[in-house]
């Protein structure tokens, strides 16, 4: 008996000693990977930007120790520093309270201002302006009255109210109190409304004069719901006691601002309220524009629910509206990818982007709303319209999927005539492209890459696509010597047995094909885009750098880490996209599971036998929990960041677009909070206390539901943390280490260091 007790005690002692002796080096190497790798590339060119006129451009370039900005011209071929980096770093450090070196400035792009004596850029969620002589850097105040998520004006902030002078200079318009006032040049009152109130006011920012000064358009606004989300800042830097912060935050189902167009005709001095029968249930009225001949104005009407969109034209003489175009969908019309542009030449035609044939394409309509022709067509999609050249009757656009021999997500650039003829490819290399044009469109910079092809930047002529010169070709030899290996694209069939599902596999630096590796999926299934990286990973150079380097850092701990674009995400066919409609809980899981199984069948080292790990943020956090609840036999360990766990609790704009309106039972069906009792796997929830993107209460409601269901889980709340906590802001190392620890312990069953003893 004594011998048994002795052996048990010895075993316990050995276990404790082993725990204390766990090597921290692998974790430290992974946590330091970004810092160790980010400066190992040379001549990676990023964010080329042309001057507002002429043929000068500038860009960011990786150099020894970091980055520098250079400017160049088409003719000179002698790049020079875009500004004195030392002076700017000192000025910005002093103004921001942060320390920046000349080679580590915290922005990727900028614009010159004040005749090249200043630059403007975006950093730390603020717009900055710095004098290039180093004397002053300051933040720029936002002008105007912001709209929360684009639909409810923040009436706590006073709106700008400048004088709006008519094109002929004869009149000036502005709002006075809640009313509209129009004065003649001699100071006499031409028109003054009397019906404006706080409940229905004239919006100064919406005033638009007709080009011939014969009339004025203004919106009369009925304010929507002023829903406030209140957050407690528990640990402010400037005081001991907590603070309460309030944010205007409309949610699904809330009333939005109702904009009612009003036409003021100068010859009569009368205002005409436009009959709203054709646009009676607005989510938004936008793209408001007068035609060049002042005969009418047009606007785009998106009906609440995102299933009907109209182009409305209003006659300037009769004030009568008519529908030039009406488009309906049984699912959603994607406002996030919409395009509408009236042509001021060519008989007042307009160009419209539609998915009516199952793919995102461009159509040309005449001024009466009759279809003239489909401009683009095929089993591929238009990604962006860059320019309409009305004189040459040409359209410049970006698209993906046109070349069946290439990855269908690769972006290429094209030119086409308005009648659909003369399709010309401006990019051809088997890669994804980012093109920027000179102001006169005579030249363009083509920046292209793949995950296994480092950035190449070329200056080309628009007329024939011919190469002027190569601006930069990335050198990653030092990065490769440090252990970098390109991730591996992988394609498998989706749930329908025929559609290709594309993903990416990241393996450890010291990968051994004869070993077995547990698999972790980095998920983001939001319907507003596709997310698997297609360009080369310039580690730490851009906003996505922290995420993708995190995949490699996690893989280096002995995992295979993957990312997949399942059905329900964007940039393929309409049918592919529609899977998400009113069903965000789907998250493409039927496609993802098949993809994993196909990978496991092809690669013996791809081990999914004991379950797959999963992590994601925001909508990816929601999907992470959904994986554990709805696919518990496949996904067994998850780390969820900043999730919108119930779409009724999240922002109105994103959720009504994909979940529809009105709010109904389908919202609850997609809610992981409502189904918390289904949890079987291991779950770590991470959230920032000051998340301004997703209401933090959504996280706490999930926590409450899990407690009520008697479920075990882990929770990490970061005081002061924002939506991107642990990814690009906040205590990145700590949060990342907690995620890595969680997967090692629960997916790999590996003992992790006692960090409280190893400090």
- Count Cα atoms within 13 angstroms, Cβ side, for 646: 22
Helix (H, G, I), strand (E, B) or coil at 656: helix
DSSP secondary structure, 233-270, as one string: ESS-SS-SS-EEEEEE---TTPPPPEEEEEEEETTTTE
Residue 124 pLDDT greater than 90, yes or no: no
Closest to 274 in 3D by CA, of 223, 200, 218: 218
Helix (H, G, I), strand (E, B) or coil at 174: strand
Residues 6+ apart with CB under 8 A from 12: none
pLDDT score for 22: 85
Query: Dihedrals φ, ψ of 206, to 5°?
Result: -95, -5
- Asked if residue 302 lies in contact with residue 282, where contact means CB atoms within 8 angstroms, the answer is yes
Pull the structure tokens for residue 99: 């320390």
Helices 619-630 and 589-602 meet at what angle, rounded to 10?
Answer: 70
Higher pLDDT, 8 or 99: 99
DSSP secondary structure, 407-446, as one string: -TT-EEEEEEETTS---EES--SSSEEEEEE-TTSSEEEE
Ordered structural domains, the chain, with CATH: 24-37+478-746 (3.40.50.1820), 148-292 (no CATH)
Phi/psi zone of residue 21: left (φ > 0), alpha (ψ -120 to 50 degrees), beta? alpha
Q: Where are the beta strands (DSSP E) in 274-380?
A: 282-290, 296-303, 308-315, 321-328, 340-342, 350-354, 361-365, 371-374
Query: What span, in angstroms and rounded, lies between the C-alpha atoms of 585 and 597?
Result: 21
CA 596 to chain centroid = 27
For residue 102, give Cα distances in angstroms to 67, 106, 132. 8, 10, 13
- Asked if residue 457 lies in contact with residue 72, where contact means CB atoms within 8 angstroms, the answer is no
pLDDT score for 660: 98
Phi/psi zone of residue 465: left (φ > 0), alpha (ψ -120 to 50 degrees), beta? left
The continuous run of DSSP H or E covering 619 comes out as: helix 619-630
User: What are the pLDDT digits (tens) for 266-284?
Assistant: 999 999 999 999 999 999 9
User: What are the pLDDT digits (tens) for 717-742?
Assistant: 999 999 988 666 668 889 999 999 99
Beta strands 517-522 and 411-417 are unpaired
Query: What span, in angstroms and rounded, lies between the C-alpha atoms of 84 and 179?
Result: 50
pLDDT score for 11: 46
Helix (H, G, I), strand (E, B) or coil at 209: strand
| Mean predicted confidence (pLDDT) in 318-331 | 98
Residue 13 burial by CB count (10 A; 0-12/13-18/19+): exposed, middle or buried?
A: exposed
| Mean predicted confidence (pLDDT) in 510-526 | 97
Query: What span, in angstroms and rounded, lies between the C-alpha atoms of 650 and 632?
Result: 25
Closest to 634 in 3D by CA, of 616, 611, 615, 614: 611
- Asked if residue 243 lies in contact with residue 210, where contact means CB atoms within 8 angstroms, the answer is no
Say which residue the tokens 């509408």 belong to: 340
Identify any residues that bridge with 139 across adjacent strands, giving them in sequence order: 128
- Asked if residue 92 lies in contact with residue 128, where contact means CB atoms within 8 angstroms, the answer is yes
pLDDT score for 271: 97
User: What are the pLDDT digits (tens) for 681-729?
Assistant: 999 999 999 999 999 999 999 999 999 999 999 999 999 999 988 666 6
| Residue % of the chain over a pLDDT of 90 | 89
User: What are the pLDDT digits (tens) for 435-486?
Assistant: 999 999 999 999 999 999 999 999 999 999 999 999 999 999 999 999 999 9
- Count Cα atoms within 13 angstroms, Cβ side, for 328: 1
Helix (H, G, I), strand (E, B) or coil at 229: strand
Q: What separation, in Å, do the N-terminal and C-terminal C-alpha atoms of the chain show? A: 40
Query: What span, in angstroms and rounded, lies between the C-alpha atoms of 21 and 39?
Result: 33
Query: What span, in angstroms and rounded, lies between the C-alpha atoms of 615 and 385?
Result: 34
- Asked if residue 340 lies in contact with residue 384, where contact means CB atoms within 8 angstroms, the answer is no
pLDDT score for 34: 87
Closest to 278 in 3D by CA, of 315, 329, 318, 313: 313
Query: What span, in angstroms and rounded, lies between the C-alpha atoms of 372 and 365?
Result: 5
| Mean predicted confidence (pLDDT) in 492-501 | 98
User: What are the pLDDT digits (tens) for 586-645?
Assistant: 999 999 999 999 999 999 999 999 999 999 999 999 999 999 999 999 999 999 999 999
pLDDT score for 332: 98
pLDDT score for 56: 96
| Residue % of the chain over a pLDDT of 70 | 95
Closest to 538 in 3D by CA, of 44, 61, 110, 69: 44
Query: What span, in angstroms and rounded, lies between the C-alpha atoms of 396 and 462?
Result: 11
- Asked if residue 430 lies in contact with residue 406, where contact means CB atoms within 8 angstroms, the answer is yes
User: What are the pLDDT digits (tens) for 339-382?
Assistant: 999 887 667 899 999 999 999 999 999 989 999 999 999 999 99
Query: What span, in angstroms and rounded, lies between the C-alpha atoms of 407 and 571?
Result: 12
The continuous run of DSSP H or E covering 94 comes out as: helix 85-96
Helical residues (DSSP H) of 426-582, grouped into ranges: 477-481, 545-555, 574-578
Query: What span, in angstroms and rounded, lies between the C-alpha atoms of 548 and 569?
Result: 19
Phi/psi zone of residue 116: left (φ > 0), alpha (ψ -120 to 50 degrees), beta? left
* Average pLDDT of the residues of the chain: 93
Closest to 428 in 3D by CA, of 417, 439, 414: 414
Query: What span, in angstroms and rounded, lies between the C-alpha atoms of 543 and 249?
Result: 25
CA 60 to chain centroid = 21
User: What are the pLDDT digits (tens) for 346-358?
Assistant: 678 999 999 999 9
The continuous run of DSSP H or E covering 703 comes out as: helix 697-708
The continuous run of DSSP H or E covering 273 comes out as: strand 270-273
DSSP letter for 384, please: E
């Amino acid at each position: 008996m004594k011998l048994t007790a002795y052996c048990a005690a010895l075993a316990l002692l050995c276990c404790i000693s082993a725990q204390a002796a766990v090597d921290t080096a692998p974790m430290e190497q992974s946590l330091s990977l970004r810092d160790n790798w980010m400066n190992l590339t040379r001549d990676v060119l990023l964010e080329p930007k042309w001057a507002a006129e002429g043929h000068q451009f500038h860009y960011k370039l990786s150099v020894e120790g970091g980055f520098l900005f250079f400017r160049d011209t088409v003719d000179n071929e002698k790049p020079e520093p875009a500004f004195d980096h030392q002076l700017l770093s000192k000025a910005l450090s002093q103004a921001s309270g942060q320390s920046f070196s000349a080679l580590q400035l915290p922005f990727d792009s900028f614009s010159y201002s004040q005749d090249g004596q200043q630059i403007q850029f975006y950093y730390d969620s603020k717009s900055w302006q710095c004098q290039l002589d180093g004397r002053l850097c300051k933040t720029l105040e936002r002008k105007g009255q912001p709209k929360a998520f684009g639909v409810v004006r923040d009436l706590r902030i006073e709106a700008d109210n400048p004088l709006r002078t008519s094109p002929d200079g004869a009149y000036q318009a502005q709002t006075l109190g809640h009313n509209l006032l129009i004065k003649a040049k001699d100071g006499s009152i031409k028109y003054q409304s009397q019906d404006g109130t706080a409940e229905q006011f004239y919006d100064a920012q919406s005033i638009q004069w007709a080009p011939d000064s014969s009339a004025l358009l203004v919106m009369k606004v009925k304010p929507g719901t002023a829903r406030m989300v209140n957050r407690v800042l528990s640990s402010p830097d400037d005081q001991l006691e907590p603070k309460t912060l309030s944010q205007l935050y409309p949610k699904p189902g809330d009333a939005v601002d109702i904009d009612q167009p009003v036409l003021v005709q100068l010859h009569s001095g009368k205002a005409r309220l436009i009959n709203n029968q054709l646009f009676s249930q607005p989510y938004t009225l936008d793209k408001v524009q007068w035609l060049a001949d002042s005969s009418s104005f047009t606007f785009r009407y998106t009906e609440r629910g995102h299933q009907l969109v109209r182009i409305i034209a209003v006659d300037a003489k009769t004030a009568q509206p008519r529908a030039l175009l009406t488009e309906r969908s049984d699912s959603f019309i994607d406002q996030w990818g919409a395009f509408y542009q009236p042509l001021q030449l060519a008989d007042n035609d307009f160009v419209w982007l539609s998915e009516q044939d199952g793919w995102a394409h461009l159509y040309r309509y005449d001024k009466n709303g009759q279809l003239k022709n489909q401009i683009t067509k095929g089993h591929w999609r238009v990604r962006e319209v860059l320019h309409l050249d009305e004189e040459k009757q040409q359209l410049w656009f970006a698209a993906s999927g046109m070349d069946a021999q290439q990855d269908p997500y690769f972006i290429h650039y094209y030119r086409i005539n308005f009648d659909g003829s003369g399709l010309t490819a401006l990019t051809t290399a088997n890669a994804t492209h980012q093109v920027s044009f000179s102001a006169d469109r005579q030249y363009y910079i083509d920046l292209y890459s793949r995950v296994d092809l480092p950035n190449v930047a070329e200056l080309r002529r628009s007329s024939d696509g011919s190469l002027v010169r190569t601006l930069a070709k990335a050198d990653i030899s030092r990065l490769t010597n440090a252990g970098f290996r390109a991730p591996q694209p992988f394609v498998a069939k989706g749930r329908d047995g025929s559609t290709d599902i594309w993903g990416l596999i990241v393996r450890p630096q010291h990968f051994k094909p004869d070993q077995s590796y547990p698999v972790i999926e980095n998920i983001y299934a939001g319907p507003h885009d596709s997310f698997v990286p297609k360009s080369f990973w310039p580690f730490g150079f851009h906003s996505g750098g922290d995420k993708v380097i995190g995949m490699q850092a996690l893989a280096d701990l002995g995992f295979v880490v993957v990312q997949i674009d399942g059905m329900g995400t964007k940039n393929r066919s309409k049918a592919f996209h529609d899977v998400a409609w009113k069903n965000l809980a789907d998250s493409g899981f039927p496609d993802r599971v098949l993809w994993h199984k196909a990978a496991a069948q092809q690669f013996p080292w791809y081990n999914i036998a004991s379950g797959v790990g999963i992590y994601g943020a925001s909508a990816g956090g929601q999907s992470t929990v959904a994986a554990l609840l709805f696919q518990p036999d496949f996904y067994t360990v998850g780390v969820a960041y900043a999730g919108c766990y119930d779409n009724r609790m999240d922002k109105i704009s994103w959720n009504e677009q994909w979940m529809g309106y009105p709010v109904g039972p389908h919202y609850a069906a997609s809610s992981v909070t409502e189904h918390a009792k289904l949890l079987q796997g291991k779950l770590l929830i991470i959230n920032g206390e000051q998340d301004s993107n997703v209401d933090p209460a959504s996280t706490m409601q999930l926590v409450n539901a899990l407690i009520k269901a008697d479920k075990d889980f882990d929770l990490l709340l970061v005081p002061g943390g924002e939506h991107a906590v642990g990814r690009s802001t906040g205590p990145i190392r700590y949060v990342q280490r907690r995620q890595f620890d969680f997967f090692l312990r629960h997916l790999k069953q590996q003992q992790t260091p006692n960090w409280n003893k190893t400090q």
